[in-house]
Amino acid sequence: MTDSAFLPNRSSLRTVALVATAFALTACGGTADDSANSDLVADASQAAVPVVTIEPEEAERQFLGTVRQLTFGGENAEAYWSANGEYITFQSTRDGRTCDQQYVMRADGSDIKQISVGGKTTCGYFYNNDSRVFFAATHHADTACPPRPDPSQGYVWPLDKFDIYTSNPDGTDLKRLTDYGVYTAEGILSPDGKTIVFTSTKDGDLDIYTMNVDGTNVKRLTNTPGYDGGPWWSPDGTKIVYRAHHPKDAEELAEYNRLLAQNIIRPSKVELFVMDADGSNQTQITSLGGANFGPTWTPDGQRIIFSSNHTNPRSRDFNLYVVDVDGSNLTQITTHPEFDGFPMFSPDGTKLLWASNRNAKVEGETNVFVADWVAK
């Protein structure tokens, strides 16, 4: 979702990558030494692009082929492909910023360009045949970074006053698409290019909505009290996977509403749900515990890939998993001891893009990686 702190939104979570930040992301021991763990391969993106050695257990699982690192330094996450597979949009705290700005780069990591104009941003996505990008930003409220939540509240995630903006891929012709003045972010484009699904507090709770790409015809899809967010379309556009936490009793609901009134949320407990594209047939598919977020679909539309720390819910040890649409056949993909999250497959289904703490040079560093995907 937005900051380097969990971000349960695909915006979020940076949802949890941000739990990762919640836990203070640390460099990964064992992959920081380039001489021991990386080969240097000539690439147009820069003088040399590291091919990162994956964990032995990851190699044994045989999902990931060659892994390359695309960004270097800072906190970089929520990286998503253009429809033609030639560009990537992502958010980053590079260049001395203390909160995320939106960037576009070529798929090889070259030609990085900031396209936002201040405030805080999250959840960028290409649309209109890759001629435009939409993303959420707060610069209408203040060009400075929003204040961080009161630390006395413990680990919470701020519901900053995002609205969705659109621009050309070079940042020109910036226009405001929504005008709610409350948290409105986590936008993802439908496969047919006509509809955006997003999360907003515009009606008082954290719910999922759809709208036309011009901002018209807004429809609310979820109504259960609690957090619903991080939506992602299935490849055929008939279903949406999302993350949610619905309070189980009056006490838990009261605490959720207390925090919501302060524009904050505690995102440490979220499970995955699937619904039809019109909001019907909402079904919980995981009951793992911990934070399960950032779901997308495998290219065949039969499984869901996501990030989870359910094996150690109070840690920053998030790994990528795949699960069938009915919640069966849970399979772990990554085994790195720090954060791995925000996965997305390339348009042709041959590569996996994600954010990770692996190969970090300093504590708290998160970078964007791409791997050849070995379909199972």
Calculate mean pLDDT across residues 161-189. Answer: 98
Q: What's the rounded Cα separation, in Å, for the pair 62 and 293?
A: 23
Bridge partners of 127, per DSSP, are 132
> CB neighbours of 228 closer than 8 A, spacing ≥ 6?
199, 206, 207, 208, 222, 242, 243, 244, 273
- What is the DSSP secondary structure assignment for residue 201, as one 8-state letter? -
Other Cβ atoms less than 10 A from the Cβ of 314: the count is 12
Q: Does the model's pTM come out above 0.75?
A: yes
- Per the prediction, the chain carries an average pLDDT of 88
Give the domain CATH number at 58: 2.120.10.30
Q: Is residue 202 part of a domain?
A: yes
Check: CB of residue 23 under 8 Å from CB of residue 355.
no
Locate 239 and state its tokens: 């279903």
- Which is nearest to 51 in space by CA: 59, 65, 63? 65
Q: Is residue 5 part of a domain?
A: no
pLDDT band at 376 (very low <50, low <70, confident <90, very high): low
Check: CB of residue 265 under 8 Å from CB of residue 159.
yes
Euclidean distance between the first and the last CA atom of the chain, given in angstroms as a whole number: 30
Calculate mean pLDDT across residues 205-233. Answer: 98
Backbone angles phi, psi at 13, to 5 degrees: -40, 75
- What SS3 class is residue 260? helix
- Which is nearest to 357 in space by CA: 305, 316, 303? 316
Q: Could you report the per-residue pLDDT of 247-265, keeping only the tens digit for each?
A: 999 999 999 999 999 999 9
Q: Is residue 4 part of a domain?
A: no
pLDDT of amino acid 314: 78
Q: What's the rounded Cα separation, in Å, for the pair 171 and 174?
A: 7
Q: Is residue 6 part of a domain?
A: no
Is residue 32 over pLDDT 80?
no
Q: Which domain holds residue 252?
A: 12-373
Q: Is residue 3 part of a domain?
A: no
Q: Is residue 294 part of a domain?
A: yes
> CB neighbours of 116 closer than 8 A, spacing ≥ 6?
101, 102, 135, 137, 139, 171
Q: Is residue 154 part of a domain?
A: yes
Bridge partners of 366, per DSSP, are 75
Is residue 33 over pLDDT 70?
no
pLDDT band at 48 (very low <50, low <70, confident <90, very high): low
Q: Is residue 1 part of a domain?
A: no
Calculate mean pLDDT across residues 64-82. Answer: 96
Q: Could you report the per-residue pLDDT of 99-157, keeping only the tens digit for each?
A: 999 999 999 999 999 999 999 999 999 999 999 999 999 999 999 999 998 888 888 99
Query: What Cα–Cα distance (Å) separates residue 1 from each residue in 31, 175, 201, 263, 366?
Result: 27, 21, 14, 14, 14
Q: What's the rounded Cα separation, in Å, for the pair 124 and 11?
A: 8
Is residue 85 over pLDDT 50?
yes
Looking at the structure of the chain, the number of domains it has is: 1
Is residue 25 over pLDDT 50?
no
